[in-house]
């Protein structure tokens, strides 16, 4: 029975570095492949952009998600959140196991900022219950985030059975830790880095992380290992660090 699951979450900054200076999607794919993650939560995936596709050499014809998934992750899901004349971006999930259902829900708290949560149901061989994943990218202002976390909590209560394993991960944009703790308590989840080190991981800016913006919340798992992937090399990758965790299914 495949009880151990390796996961990662990464805000890829639309496949370009800070200030759109450099196209970094190829380097991001290389980094993700080296992690050997079973499931990857991605934010700010720009699946189409007519201007950038002309400006940057090597822009994938089929879109960023298919390019990142390639031959490594057999299944992927995409939640289109922000649409503009040149293209669109949103959250995505890569999975080595079959995604049997995927739902993208609008949780925008304001007209100026389009946000969504991508709920995917994954069938893992020999598991008696499916794995539920929710990939999120929350708003920039605290009162928007509180509203969005309430929406995620309500969604979990209504749509995900309490006895089925769940992972909620992504860019929470949460500068403090209070709202995250309230969310974890209300949704009966545990944050993996908080479990190991007492606080969520420092993940922003990626080259010298100070702020604890990215999170991985779990239910139905034990935490075996957590890691923050950051440092100077991320100047060529993204402004967010990549977080990974190895989880064991709680039986």
pLDDT at 84: 61
* Residue 83 DSSP SS3: strand
Domains of the chain: residue spans and CATH = 4-249 (3.60.10.10)
The residues near 194 (Cβ < 8 Å, ≥ 6 apart) are 177, 184, 200
Evaluate if residue 95 carries a pLDDT over 90: yes
The residues near 34 (Cβ < 8 Å, ≥ 6 apart) are none
Using pLDDT thresholds of 50, 70 and 90, give the confidence band for residue 46. Answer: confident
pTM for this model (two decimals)? 0.93
- Higher-pLDDT residue of 98 and 54 is 98
Name the nearest CA neighbour of 123 among 83, 89, 164: 164
- Higher-pLDDT residue of 85 and 146 is 146
Evaluate if residue 1 carries a pLDDT over 70: no
pLDDT at 55: 61
Structure tokens at 115: 């946000």
Are 122 and 99 in contact, with CB atoms under 8 Å apart? yes
- The answer to which of 49-58, 99-108, 113-122, 242-251 has the lowest mean pLDDT is 49-58
């Amino acid at each position: 029975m495949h009880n151990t699951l390796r996961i990662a979450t990464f805000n890829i900054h639309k496949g370009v570095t800070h200030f759109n200076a450099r196209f970094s999607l190829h380097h991001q794919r290389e980094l993700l492949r080296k992690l050997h993650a079973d499931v990857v939560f991605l934010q700010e995936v720009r699946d189409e952009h007519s201007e950038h596709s002309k400006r940057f050499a090597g822009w994938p014809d089929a879109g960023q998600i298919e390019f990142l998934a390639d031959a490594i992750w057999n299944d992927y899901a995409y939640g289109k959140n922000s649409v503009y004349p040149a293209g669109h971006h949103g959250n995505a999930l890569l999975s080595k196991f079959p995604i049997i259902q995927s739902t993208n829900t609008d949780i925008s708290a304001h007209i100026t900022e389009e946000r969504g949560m991508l709920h995917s149901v994954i069938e893992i061989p020999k598991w008696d219950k499916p794995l539920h994943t929710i990939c999120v990218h929350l708003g920039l202002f605290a009162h928007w985030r509180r509203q969005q976390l309430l929406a995620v909590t309500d969604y979990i209560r209504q749509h995900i059975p309490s006895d089925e394993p769940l992972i909620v991960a992504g860019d929470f944009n949460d500068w403090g830790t209070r709202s995250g703790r309230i969310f974890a308590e209300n949704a009966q989840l545990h944050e993996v880095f908080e479990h190991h080190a007492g606080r969520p991981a420092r993940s922003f800016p990626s080259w010298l992380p100070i702020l604890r913006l990215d999170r991985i919340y779990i239910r139905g798992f034990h935490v075996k290992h957590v890691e923050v992937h950051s440092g100077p090399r991320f100047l060529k990758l993204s402004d967010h660090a990549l977080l990974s965790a190895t989880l064991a299914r709680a039986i």
